[in-house]
């Protein structure tokens, strides 16, 4: 709801770079997967600011290279320069380096704004907040700035990894979100029938398309732990819908179903 092309939690995390002046900057460098939501949002940011955007990937699937779609296609159309060679260790002063997935303190500003919107909307009420985590940056800064308890689940790595990510941004454990998990272990980016099934069910019952990478694990966790929530739950939809195009293609190929 922020902007058709700059939305979801990545827009919140990169809000800082849209708001402030960077007179000496002329390009952005980042890295990660060739289908990431962060990559797409950075391509929009670079376009809005007139910056060049260099993005480094370890690997690009031949299917994606031959049939560009989703975040990858959109980022290329925004002028992203894709590199498969090793990322240089040093950059000129005119370069802004953004770590994978936006795991950085600069993300706090935009998420603080989101927290203020939530606090305003639910003033005088008690709610619990739930959202699935990757780097955990969104959940951590939401916990810091909202008046409510934040619950999350790790989608990349396990609970110990997520807890470690929280410690890198906040030393006080009492200020961390509460980590919940499913009994079964899931690997990030892999396809699971129960993920696809809950995604379809949510779409049919609520009319809302959720993201296919993080939200299925999020909802399975939420439903597993329903009894621990004391209040109504605010589930944060973090965007990522453009990335669904490639996930739906992969699910279609795997389970031979078309959506
Ligand atoms: C990036 C992303 C997340 C994870 O955000 P973190 O701040 O890295 O925890 C969750 N959902 C969607 C749709 C995302 O794009």
> Buried b / exposed e across 240-258, counting CB within 10 Å, b at 16+?
bebbbbbbbbbbeeeeeee
Instruction: Please tell me the distance from the alpha carbon of residue 24 to that of residue 26, in angstroms, as a whole number.
Output: 7
Confidence of residue 79 (pLDDT cuts 50, 70, 90): very high
Closest CA to 162 of 138, 145, 142: 138
Instruction: Please tell me the distance from the alpha carbon of residue 93 to that of residue 29, in angstroms, as a whole number.
Output: 12
Mean pLDDT, rounded, for 45-66: 95
E-strand ranges in 39-125 read 52-56, 81-83, 95-98
Domain count, the chain: 2
* End residue of a domain, out of 102, 127, 155: 102
Same domain, 24 and 85: yes
Same domain, 126 and 243: yes
Same domain, 128 and 217: yes
Same domain, 55 and 137: no
In the sheet with 232-235, reading across from the earlier edge strand, the strands are 178-179, 149-154, 127-133, 232-235
Q: Let me know if residue 232 belongs to a domain.
A: yes
Ligand 1 centroid, distance to 27 Cα (angstroms): 24
Same domain, 121 and 229: yes
Same domain, 128 and 155: yes
* End residue of a domain, out of 102, 131, 157: 102
Q: Let me know if residue 117 belongs to a domain.
A: yes
Same domain, 51 and 89: yes
* End residue of a domain, out of 77, 102, 127: 102
What percentage of the chain has pLDDT greater than the value 90? 89
Mutate to test the pocket of ligand 1, among 14, 75, 138 (most ligand atoms within 8 A of CB): 138
Q: Let me know if residue 161 belongs to a domain.
A: yes
* pLDDT score recorded for residue 255: 86
Give the mean pLDDT of the chain. Answer: 94
- pLDDT per position as a tens digit, 80-118: 999 999 998 888 889 999 999 888 999 999 999 999 999
Q: Containing domain of residue 44, as a range?
A: 10-102
* pLDDT score recorded for residue 257: 66
Same domain, 93 and 113: no
Mutate to test the pocket of ligand 1, among 11, 43, 101, 140 (most ligand atoms within 8 A of CB): 101
Same domain, 118 and 235: yes
- pLDDT per position as a tens digit, 203-257: 999 999 999 999 999 999 999 999 999 999 999 999 999 999 999 999 998 987 6
Find the CATH number of the domain harbouring 18: 3.40.50.1100
Q: Let me know if residue 2 belongs to a domain.
A: no
Q: What is the DSSP annotation of 30-50?
A: EES-TT-HHHHHHHHHHHHHT
Instruction: Please tell me the distance from the alpha carbon of residue 42 to that of residue 30, in angstroms, as a whole number.
Output: 8
Whether residue 2 has pLDDT greater than 80: no
Same domain, 135 and 15: no
Mean pLDDT, rounded, for 181-205: 97
Same domain, 171 and 94: no
Same domain, 87 and 114: no
Whether residue 26 has pLDDT greater than 60: yes
Ligand 1 centroid, distance to 60 Cα (angstroms): 21
């Amino acid at each position: 709801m922020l902007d058709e092309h700059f939305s979801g939690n990545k827009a919140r995390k990169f809000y800082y770079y849209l708001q402030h002046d960077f007179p000496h900057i002329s390009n952005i460098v980042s890295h990660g997967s060739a289908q990431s939501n962060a990559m797409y949002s950075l391509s929009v940011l670079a376009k809005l600011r007139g910056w060049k955007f260099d993005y480094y990937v370890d690997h690009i699937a031949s299917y994606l290279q031959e049939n560009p779609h989703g975040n990858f296609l959109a980022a290329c159309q925004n002028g992203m320069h894709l590199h498969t060679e090793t990322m240089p260790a040093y950059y000129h002063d005119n370069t802004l380096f953004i770590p994978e997935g936006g795991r950085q303190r600069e993300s706090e500003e935009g998420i603080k704004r989101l927290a203020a919107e939530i606090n305003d909307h639910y003033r005088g009420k008690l709610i619990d907040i739930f959202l699935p985590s990757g780097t955990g940056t969104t959940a951590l800064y939401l916990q810091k700035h909202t008046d409510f308890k934040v619950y999350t689940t790790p989608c990349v790595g396990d609970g110990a990894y997520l807890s470690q990510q929280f410690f890198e941004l906040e030393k006080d454990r009492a200020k961390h979100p509460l980590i919940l998990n499913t009994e079964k272990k899931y690997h990030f980016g892999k396809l699971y029938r129960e993920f696809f099934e809950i995604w379809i069910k949510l779409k049919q019952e609520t009319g809302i398309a959720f993201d296919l990478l993080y939200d299925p694990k999020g909802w399975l966790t939420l439903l597993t732990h329903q009894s621990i929530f004391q209040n109504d739950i605010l589930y944060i939809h973090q965007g990522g819908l453009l990335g669904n195009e490639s996930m739906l293609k992969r699910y279609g190929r795997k389970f031979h179903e078309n959506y």
